[in-house]
């Protein structure tokens, strides 16, 4: 059922379940099955925070780390992406553009999803996992910025342009340009967090 729902292979699913078990989200009981650990939302957030050891005062470290990971993801995605994966990135990009035009609150979701897919399409499981671990903190911080609606709207319009440059570099399999465009995008995003 999970394979069908997430359109993944048995090995991919087994690896994902193994990671969730490693972090204590799932618990395997021999001859019984695999169960979701009795973690509430706050416990799960605490688990992720403990893994990352991120505090508000360490925001710059989070941004620096994310920048390094994202640049490398873009570079590898340009080298390793498959044609059908390029189509997925284009769809996500178009969805983001649509959300921003309609002033839909899902814009941030599509923005983050774009980055997660680039990480996935880098075909580096470690990089993809690290980006995935950082995402909850990015969302938490972004929600604080969300109170500045006009500033966020302006940033999302610029984000669309920057994503387009990243996407084009990846489509053209230009790894150096993809890395450079992602670096520019991340530096501009960092300014948003610093204001």
Q: What is the pLDDT of residues 94-106, one digit of tens each?
A: 988 887 777 655 6
Asked if the model's pLDDT at residue 136 lies above 50, the reply is yes
Sign of CA dihedral 183, 96, 63, 146: positive
pLDDT of residue 50: 55
What would the mean pLDDT of 32-39 be, rounded to a whole number? 74
Helix (H) or strand (E) holding 16: helix 10-22
Range(s) within the chain of domains with CATH label 1.20.120.530: 55-194
Residues in the chain: 195
Decide if 122 contacts 77 (C-beta within 8 A). Answer: yes
Q: What mean pLDDT value characterizes the chain?
A: 80
CATH fold of 55-194: 1.20.120
The pLDDT of residue 174 is above 70: yes
- For the whole model, what pTM was predicted? 0.69
Quote the percentage of the chain above a pLDDT of 90: 34
């Amino acid at each position: 059922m999970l394979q069908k729902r997430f359109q993944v292979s048995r090995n991919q699913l087994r690896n994902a379940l193994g990671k969730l078990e490693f972090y204590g989200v799932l618990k395997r009981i021999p001859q019984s099955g695999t169960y979701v650990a009795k973690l509430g939302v706050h416990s799960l957030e605490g688990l992720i925070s403990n893994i990352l050891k991120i505090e508000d005062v360490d925001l710059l470290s989070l941004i620096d780390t994310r920048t390094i990971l994202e640049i490398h993801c873009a570079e590898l995605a340009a080298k390793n992406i498959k044609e059908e994966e390029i189509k997925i990135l284009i769809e996500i990009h178009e969805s983001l553009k649509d959300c921003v035009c309609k002033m839909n609150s899902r814009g941030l979701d599509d923005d983050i999803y774009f980055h997660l897919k680039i990480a996935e399409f880098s075909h580096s499981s470690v990089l993809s996992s690290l980006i995935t671990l950082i995402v909850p903190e990015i969302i938490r911080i972004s929600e604080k910025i969300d109170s500045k609606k006009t500033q966020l709207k302006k940033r999302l319009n610029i984000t669309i342009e920057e994503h387009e440059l990243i996407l084009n570099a990846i489509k053209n399999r230009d790894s150096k340009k993809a890395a450079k465009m992602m670096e520019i995008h991340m530096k501009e995003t960092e300014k948003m967090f610093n204001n």
